Amino acid sequence: MADPTAPDVGTSDDTGTGVVPPGERGSLVVKDRAIERIAAAAALGVPGVVRHSGGGILRLTGRDLPRADVTTGATAVAVNLYIAAEWPYDAAMLTRRVHDAVERQLHDLTGMRISELNVLIVATALVEDGETDEAQPPVEYLESDIVAARTTPHPDIPTVAPLPPLAPPAAAPAAAIVAIAALALSFVAARELLIVNGTYGGAPWLRNSFEWFGRLHWHTWLAPVAGVCLVLGIVLIVVALKPRRRTHVPLQVAGPVPTVWMRRTDVARMCSAHASALTGVRTARTVVDRRRAVVRISIEDETPVDEITASVRGAVAPNLAALADPVELVVEVAR
């Protein structure tokens, strides 16, 4: 919780004969819950930020947006603010406005220094035409606020390259099998311990298995079993060392590092949708890999092949130009 220092002003004691020292006058305590509500209310006052209630269990738990998680110290506070934005919106401009509004409101109402304020857009709301949020108060910017925003330098935010979206590790199924086997072995070991202590009656599995292995001599089936175990061990090592494959491709956006990614399947669907919308194209199917984007279309008999090929390239090429890693466009026509 926050405990800002109160200003040093003279206050009489109970007897009215003297001034109470500052350390004995008490303190102003701002609860974390109050800071969360101040941050959420300030964010809701920014145009473009809307109330949003999640479905299912989120509706029961009351995890509505905007929502703030705070970590407070003696004179500073760190805030993670989760908001819902009305589509369409400029994410960079909206988060900057929310950041400035929340930081100013928290400082004015609590007097605390904002050490860290992270604004995260976690939901997008579609507001129908003519529908307004009556609970959302209008935001008024004073001339002093505009001048301060223009003259006060914002701290430089370091750009950190995000990790690219990756598929689950190839070793995940093997790890699940190993975990299940470890649980089964722990159950057998616990059963064996109960049998040794006389708590549970039954034939010991581990001891009998070890004795059976101890009496085992060479048999012809041992060679293929050893080969299978060797191959299985090599496969598990390869799977454990196999790097995770990328599931998305980066897009060209403003900034030094890619921050927007799309699945190749979505890129292919987008290309197919633009190609199939052309006159003379009956069906369109696109396959996108690391090097090429192959658009296979079927056309009507009277449609010129060269003309429709040029039309498809003109409709699909702008979509592929958004990719940070360019790919070759190939158009295959069939009647």
Domain boundaries, the chain: 28-127, 166-209, 248-333
Q: Which position has the higher pLDDT, 15 or 185?
A: 185
- Tell me how far apart the alpha carbons of residues 251 and 301 are, in angstroms, rounded to a whole number: 37
Statement: residue 326 has pLDDT above 60: yes
The CATH number that domain 28-127 falls under is: 3.30.70.1350
Q: Flag whether pLDDT at 210 surpasses 90.
A: no
Average pLDDT over residues 128-153: 50
Share of the chain above pLDDT 90, in %: 15
Q: Which two tokens stand for residue 293?
A: 């984007």
Residue 211's pLDDT band (cuts 50, 70, 90): confident
Is the pLDDT higher at 228 or at 4?
228
pLDDT tens-digit readout, 41-50: 888 888 888 8
The string of pLDDT tens digits covering residues 280-309 is 888 999 999 888 999 999 988 777 888 889
Q: Does the pLDDT of residue 35 top 90, yes or no?
A: no
pLDDT at 141 over 50: no
In this prediction, residue 148 has a pLDDT band, given cuts at 50, 70 and 90, of: low
Token pair, residue 156, equals 């430089």
Among 70-79, 122-131, 188-197, where is mean pLDDT lowest?
A: 122-131
* Ramachandran assignment for 130, one of left (phi > 0), alpha (psi -120 to 50 degrees), beta (any other): left
State residue 76's pLDDT score. 77
Neighbours of 170 (CB within 10 A): 15
What pLDDT, on the 0 to 100 scale, is given for residue 137?
Answer: 45
Q: What is the mean pLDDT of the chain?
A: 79
Is residue 133 predicted with pLDDT exceeding 60? no
Q: Give the chain as a 3 state SS string.
A: CECCCCCCCCCECCCCCCECCHHHCCCCCECHHHHHHHHHHHHHCCCCEECECCCCHHHHHCCCECEEEEEECCCEEEEEEEEEEECCCCHHHHHHHHHHHHHHHHHHHHCCEEEEEEEEEEEEECCCCCCCCCCCCCCCCCHHHHHHHHHCCCCCCCCCCCCCCECCCCCHHHHHHHHHHHHHHHHHHHHHHHHHCCCCCCCCHHHHHHHHHHCCCCCCCHHHHHHHHHHHHHHHHHHHHCCCCECEEEECCCCCCCCCEEEHHHHHHHHHHHHHCCCCEEEEEEEECCCEEEEEEEECCCCCHHHHHHHHHHHHHHHHHCECCCCEEEEEEEC
Cα→Cα distances 56→65, 67, 124, 127, 141, Å: 15, 17, 17, 21, 38
CA pair distance 55, 242, nearest whole angstrom: 38
Stronger pLDDT, 217 or 83, i.e. the higher one: 83
Q: How far is CA 141 from CA 11, 93, 148, in A?
A: 37, 16, 11
Residues 248-333: name the CATH superfamily: Cation efflux protein, cytoplasmic domain (3.30.70.1350)
The pLDDT value given to residue 19: 64
- The tens digit of pLDDT for each residue in 225-236 reads 889 999 999 998
pLDDT above 70: residue 11: no
Specify the pLDDT at position 139: 44
The answer to whether the 28-127 and 248-333 domains have the same CATH topology is: yes
pLDDT tens for 242-288 read: 888 888 888 887 667 777 888 899 999 999 999 999 888 889 999 99
